[in-house]
Amino acid sequence: MDEPFLVSDLDQGMKAAFRESFLELGGSDTRPNVMLATYFDDISINKELISFSPFEGLHIDLTNTQDPLELIRNLPRFRALSIGVIDGRNIWKSDLVHKTDLINEIQNDKNQQDLLLSASCSMIHIPQDLELEKNIEPEIKSRLSFARQKLQELQILKMAVTDP
């Protein structure tokens, strides 16, 4: 369930509405498993509201989070935690060494049943494939990463944090 609004500064009425909707949505015995997805900003402003989530998973955008480790330490436990470590809204290559270090810290610090690596948000905001571009200067092209290349970055990160 996509809910980017949860990164906004919510008044008490909006917070109450979210709590009520969480209770209503979570009350069904026949509902499917749900991943609550937030993105575009830091969810820390509403981390207490997340504790009302009845859902099995949570996706957070770590590329726009001030203190990712602090946020994750203060979140409730979910069956699955999806961490958006690759920015889905910009065209620049990621610092994979830094991202690997962050993922390793999260793995060591938070005992999640499932830790999923992901882009921060949908990659509809960036071009599809850098290899389709023929008129970009090589020096600039070497620093770019479009959607296809960002998926490759995620693959590299997965191998870096799971292979001994």
How far apart are the C-alpha atoms of 40 and 59, rounded to whole Å?
A: 11
pLDDT tens per residue, range 34-58: 999 999 999 999 999 999 999 999 9
Cα–Cα distances (Å) from 84 to 39, 131, 155, 159, in that order, read 8, 24, 13, 16
49: exposed, middle or buried (Cβ count in 10 Å: 0-12, 13-18, 19+): middle
How far apart are the C-alpha atoms of 89 and 4, rounded to whole Å?
A: 14
Mean pLDDT taken over the chain: 94
Phi, psi of 163 (to 5 degrees): -85, 135
Adjacency order of strands within the sheet including 35-37: 35-37, 57-61, 80-86, 114-119
pLDDT tens sequence for the chain (164 residues): 999 999 999 999 999 999 999 999 998 888 999 999 999 999 999 999 999 999 999 999 999 999 999 999 999 989 999 999 999 999 999 999 999 999 999 998 766 568 999 999 999 999 999 999 999 999 999 999 999 999 999 999 999 999 65
Task: Delineate the domains of the chain, giving CATH numbers in brackets.
Answer: 4-162 (3.20.20.210)
Q: Say what the pTM is.
A: 0.92
pLDDT tens per residue, range 129-139: 999 999 999 99
How far apart are the C-alpha atoms of 72 and 120, rounded to whole Å?
A: 15
